[in-house]
Amino acid sequence: MLKAIQIVGSSSGFASCRFRKPQPNSAFSLISRKPILTTSETLLLPASQLHSHKSCFRDFRMSSTHSKSSSSSSVAVQSTILQGNIRKINFCQFCGGPNKHEIPDGEEKVRAICTRCGKITYENPKMVVGCLIEHDKKILMCRRKIHPSYGLWTLPAGYMEIGESAAEGAIRETWEEANAEVEVQSLFAQLDIPLIGQTYMIFLAKLKNPHFSPGPESSECQLFELDDIPFDSLAFSSMLVSLNLYIEDIKVGRPKFHYGVINKRPGTSPSDIHAYTLDFHMQS
Amino acid sequence: MLKAIQIVGSSSGFASCRFRKPQPNSAFSLISRKPILTTSETLLLPASQLHSHKSCFRDFRMSSTHSKSSSSSSVAVQSTILQGNIRKINFCQFCGGPNKHEIPDGEEKVRAICTRCGKITYENPKMVVGCLIEHDKKILMCRRKIHPSYGLWTLPAGYMEIGESAAEGAIRETWEEANAEVEVQSLFAQLDIPLIGQTYMIFLAKLKNPHFSPGPESSECQLFELDDIPFDSLAFSSMLVSLNLYIEDIKVGRPKFHYGVINKRPGTSPSDIHAYTLDFHMQS
């Protein structure tokens, strides 16, 4: 059975505003670079309170922090601006008419509704799939040659495509970014980032052979000892969390499966990858 | 460590065309209602072969099998018609101009490209989140009062929304479809269905109180003993797989975490929920 654990960031006194847990004795532990897991409890979210939880994020406006290439970067950023929990879709993809953004009859959320044909364009979170590749007790990482996070280090990862599985997408992204052929071994982490409408799925993988080199989106690929992972120049919070969890798992014996929600701490910079809370962490 | 297991459907002699596994001694086991797990092996997918694997699905044209309500049903179906692994997006959501569907410079896949402003609209798989709710050794299920699969039974589930986590979405959908307040305990299954661009995430959950009743999209909600689950009138393959895996887990002691890929068997009807293979099943 998976255990549910909440980890709250190092900002003392902070409590997640997305989830308010009704247990009287909720305990919190700190996470910085390496999380310390002290509390085991189930995720207890009353459905009737979901609406009020969401409202605290209504005013956020946030650009995507992950796009596949420089050419698609502007599209990704433009299409992922969140306004009141929906993304801005200006025109109808069915007829080309201008959209209005209102709550349709019988629904509760603001949607993009065509003023010409009346159809609604729904937008849903995107899945980012990638690999945590183990080789000789080292981890393969790539230095980004594209924006955003140009020059920073990441695990090979990218958007899952229509027509492929998450595992297949993770293998493809690794091939594209590191010219590395891998075999996937297990799903290691699913990390939701609600604020930017993304879910990361990171697979544990092995190199099929020791060959790798930078793909078009990377300037460098390198195997890092766990003690040498460039934590001070990581590209994304999702990678920071994944690597922290992996290191903790290795310390105690073996990697597990982890589910968690990465929430940016209110008032912090979107670009500060350390300013997050990992909420409702559940591990196998 | 998760184990990787491949389960192939009951059509004797069938081999998945999406994944060709290079191990010389690949073994297969059968899955019908209740899978028998006999083989333990890692997913070994050479990245260089991904393109050829995908080509066997190029000619499929498939409508979405899951939409939230009758009003949104037509939109969901229309927007999820797969043509050569992309969905049909006729007009640009940024400027309203007509799209062409071509492979952009520097990419390998057909995309929707605006003939007026040149921007690309990317489409990605959608996440469906739901709950497998245990109560007194029974499972809560809903009979659908909407299309598709009107009148058939399902676990409460629906599309994950922008601005929420997968767990939060699963709790919301349970509230909407069964008026049930639940607490999520663990992620039980992630099941990709590449052909229709969906990924199911099913959480194990408990009722916070014994109250439930049909929501607007359900005609009935009922707790079923495991032996009485209506397997002959289930709505979706994803639910068939989830329930089968759950029953197997209960038989051997406890639920695990499962990752798998549901591939429709070529030549079978999209509406036949039993005509699938569960490929690259990995379990904790």
Its sign, for the CA torsion A278, A284, B1, B2, is negative
Subunit contact B4:A186, Cβ cutoff 8 A:
yes
The residue extents of the domains of chain B are 70-121, 126-283
Report the pLDDT averaged over residues B73-86. Answer: 35
Give the whole-angstrom CA distance, residue B81 versus residue B50: 22
ipTM: 0.75
- Contact with chain A for residue B284, Cβ under 8 A: yes
Q: Which of B94, B187, B259 sits opposite A259 (nearest CB)?
A: B187
Q: Which of A3, A181, A195 sits opposite B46 (nearest CB)?
A: A181
Shortest CA gap A81–chain B (Å): 11
- Which residues have C-beta within 8 Å of that of residue A66, sequence separation ≥ 6? A76, A128, A148, A157, A158, A159, A198, A236
SS3 of chain B: CCEEEEEEECCCCCCCCCCCCCCCCCCCCEECCCCCCCCCCCECCCHHHHHHHHHCCCCCCCCCCCCCCHHHHHHHHHHCCEECCEECCCECCCCCCEEEEECCCCCCCCEEEECCCCCEECCCCEEEEEEEEEECCEEEEEEECCCCCCCCEECCEEECCCCCCHHHHHHHHHHHHHCCCEEEEEEEEEEEEHHHCEEEEEEEEEECCCCCCCCCCEEEEEEEEHHHCCHHHECCHHHHHHHHHHHHHHHHCCCCCEEEEEEECCCCCCCCCCCEEEEEEEEC
Q: Choosing among B5, B19, B45, which should be mutated to test the A contact, i.e. which has the most A CBs within 10 A?
A: B45
Report the pLDDT averaged over residues A143-163. Answer: 97
- Contact with chain B for residue A55, Cβ under 8 A: no
User: Above 70 in pLDDT, residue B152?
Assistant: yes
The yes/no answer on whether domain A89-121 falls in CATH 3.40.30.10 is no
Name chain A contacts of B186, Cβ cutoff 8 Å.
1-4, 259, 282, 284
User: Above 80 in pLDDT, residue B115?
Assistant: yes
Element (H, E) at A79: helix A70-79
Name chain B contacts of A208, Cβ cutoff 8 Å.
44, 46
Subunit contact B2:A106, Cβ cutoff 8 A:
no
Report the pLDDT averaged over residues B70-79. Answer: 30
Q: Choosing among B70, B92, B95, B168, which should be mutated to test the A contact, i.e. which has the most A CBs within 10 A?
A: B168
pLDDT, tens digit, 9 for 90 and up, residues A105-132: 888 889 999 999 999 998 899 999 999 9
Give the whole-angstrom CA distance, residue B198 versus residue B68: 14
- Contact with chain A for residue B91, Cβ under 8 A: yes
Q: Are B221 and B202 in contact (CB under 8 A)?
A: no
Predicted confidence band of residue B271 (pLDDT cuts 50, 70, 90)? confident
Listing DSSP states for A254-284 in one string gives: S---EEEEEEEPTTS-TT-TT-EEEEEEEE-
- Contact with chain A for residue B2, Cβ under 8 A: yes
User: Above 90 in pLDDT, residue A214?
Assistant: yes
pLDDT of res. A109? 86
Subunit contact B124:A78, Cβ cutoff 8 A:
no
Report the pLDDT averaged over residues B154-171. Answer: 97
Write out residues 197-256 of A within 8 Å (CB-CB) of B. 197, 199, 201, 204, 206, 208, 254-256
Q: Which of B42, B76, B109 sits opposite A183 (nearest CB)?
A: B42
Write out residues 101-120 of A within 8 Å (CB-CB) of B. 104, 106, 109, 119-120
* Architecture label for domain B126-283: Alpha-Beta Complex (3.90)
Give the whole-angstrom CA distance, residue A26 versus residue A38: 11
Write out residues 118-137 of B within 8 Å (CB-CB) of A. 119-127
Of the ranges A105-119, A180-194, A210-224, B1-15, which one carries the lowest mean pLDDT score?
Answer: B1-15
Report the pLDDT averaged over residues B84-102. Answer: 82
Fold for the domain defined by B70-121: Ubiquitin Ligase Nedd4; Chain: W; (2.20.70)
For chain A, percent of residues with pLDDT exceeding 70: 69
User: Above 70 in pLDDT, residue B47?
Assistant: no
Six-digit token string for B45: 């997918």
User: Above 90 in pLDDT, residue A260?
Assistant: yes
Distance of CA B51 to the CA centre of its chain: 22
Listing DSSP states for A196-263 in one string gives: GTEEEEEEEEEESSS-----TTEEEEEEEEGGG--GGGBS-HHHHHHHHHHHHHHHHTS---EEEEEE
The yes/no answer on whether domain A1-78+125-284 falls in CATH 3.40.1360.10 is no
pLDDT of res. B41? 36
Subunit contact A91:B93, Cβ cutoff 8 A:
yes
Which has more confidence, B92 or B108?
A: B92
- Contact with chain A for residue B9, Cβ under 8 A: no
Element (H, E) at A98: none
Phi, psi (degrees; rounded to nearest 5) at B178: -135, 10
- Contact with chain B for residue A186, Cβ under 8 A: yes
Q: Which residue of B has its CA nearest to A97?
A: B96
